[in-house]
């Protein structure tokens, strides 16, 4: 599964700790992240991560592009709901794309716990059907 990891500045430590705690699950997947978040997770865990630009510089939109192409299977986006974000329209667009394409999205630790355990159990095998349909549509 392709998984995106994103966090606002005040939530980066939480996502890093989450990634450390669930490294054994995350290492079985292909990981993508916005710039600084990805770097911090890589440094803390040693996990390989494809990094995009920082969120405010377009990283959210780069991940959104993969969602729009149905090439992202889950998104962990630890948002800071109490701080104003200069790129809030990009954040809103990313969340909207997850809804449009039925991509599982965790925006806080509680939902992330449920989502990561679902990944561990194999609850996301339905995403393989989506990928198979895309392949047959492109044939």
Say whether 14 is catalytic: no
Smallest Cα–Cα separation from 101: which of 67, 130, 71, 78?
67
DSSP state of 83: S
Q: Which of 134, 136, 122, 17 is nearest to 76 (CA)?
A: 17
The one catalytic residue in 60, 80, 132, 137 is: 60
Cα distance between the two ends of the chain: 22
Can you tell me the distance from the alpha carbon of 101 to that of 74, in angstroms, rounded to the nearest whole number?
Answer: 11
Catalytic residue numbers? 60
């Amino acid at each position: 599964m392709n998984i995106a990891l994103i966090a606002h500045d005040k939530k980066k430590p939480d996502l890093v700790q989450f990634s450390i705690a669930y490294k054994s699950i995350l290492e079985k997947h292909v990981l993508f992240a916005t710039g600084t978040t990805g770097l911090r997770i890589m440094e803390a865990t040693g996990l390989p991560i494809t990094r995009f630009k920082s969120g405010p510089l377009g990283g959210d939109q780069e991940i959104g592009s993969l969602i729009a192409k149905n090439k992202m299977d889950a998104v962990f986006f630890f948002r800071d709901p109490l701080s104003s974000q200069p790129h809030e329209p990009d954040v809103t667009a990313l969340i909207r794309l997850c809804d449009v394409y039925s991509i599982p999205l965790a925006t806080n630790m509680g939902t992330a716990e449920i989502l990561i355990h679902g990944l561990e159990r194999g609850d996301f095998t339905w995403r393989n059907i989506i990928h198979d349909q895309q392949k047959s549509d492109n044939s």
